[in-house]
Chain A
Amino acid sequence: MLHLVLFLVFGAICVAGAINLLAQTHPISSALSLVVVMASLAVEYLLLGAEFVAAVQVIVYAGAVMVLFVFVIMLLNAGAEERTKGSHVALVLGVPGVLAGGLLVAWVLLKRSETGRVALGSLPGYPKTIGTLLFHEFLLPFEVTSILVLIAIMGAVVLASRPDAKTPSGKES
């Protein structure tokens, strides 16, 4: 019962944040509602027992990635976006289409899927468990991600540097 109440409360916060992200026009408001979504998702992970994932969600996503977003929004001095009127056909076909598709998916998942129920914290993913798995079974993917992150760092530096920037020795780069 407690599990269901917590799931519903934080699921509602999550969906409200996601809809607020769509409704807001200013990027800062959208970014802050994305933080709300990520924080309440961390609670959902805790309810499923994924403690390590919940901690990483708060530290990496709600912390590092969103700070990067807010930093870029402020750096570029982004203002409110101007709304363009969408086409009438998209509105007439799109909204019923999305509703029908969503209801179909929800009906299949709720009534026809053979997934069972989970208890509160049914699969406790402690950091020790995840780490053991990460450094034994998933060692190769883990090492590949380190190369990916290295390439991403170099790519970000190359892309964001000014083309006419001077190198410290005074030469043109």
Chain B
Amino acid sequence: MVPVSYYLVLSGILFACGVVGFLIKRNIITIFMSIELMLNGVNLSFVAFAAHWQKFSGQVFVFFVMVVAAAEAAVGLAIIIAVFRTRETLNVDQVNLLKL
């Protein structure tokens, strides 16, 4: 028997790691991976609450979050490729203009 709050603390730690990575990282791909880390932390809390309330809706919501994350990864990586093609860099400090 494990308290549900342990799972919530783990999910909070993962989400915080994602936020810190989003703020301190300079590589656009790593920033994108930090977003995926945040989504994973949220998914864990969904599953933990599903087990707490004994309802399957939480697990179905995790499925929807995964679908949205997959679509986001496809579009986001296409945007990264487009940015790299025009700017020749992945450093977000050098990507400071909306239009070239």
Contacts and interface: CB of A to CB of B under 8 A. Distances in A.
Interface of A: 3-4, 7, 11, 14-15, 18-19, 21-22, 27, 30-31, 34, 37-38, 41, 44-45, 47-50, 52-53, 56-57, 60-61, 64-65, 68-69, 72-73, 75-76, 78, 81-84, 86, 98, 102, 105-106, 109-110, 113, 115-119, 122-123, 125, 129-130, 133-134, 137-138, 141, 145, 148-149, 151-153, 155-157, 159-160, 162
Contacts of A153: 74
A105 B78 CA distance: 36
Q: Which one of B24, B33, B50, B64 has the highest number of Cβ atoms from chain A below 10 Å of its Cβ?
A: B33
Interface residues of B, number: 66
A2 B10 CA distance: 18
B47 A145 contact: no
B95 interface: no
Given A44-B7, A65-B73, A123-B56, A76 B27 contact: no
A48 B48 contact: yes
A48 B80 contact: no
Nearest to A27: B29
Contacts of A125: 50, 56, 59
A34 B23 CA distance: 17
B9 A106 contact: yes
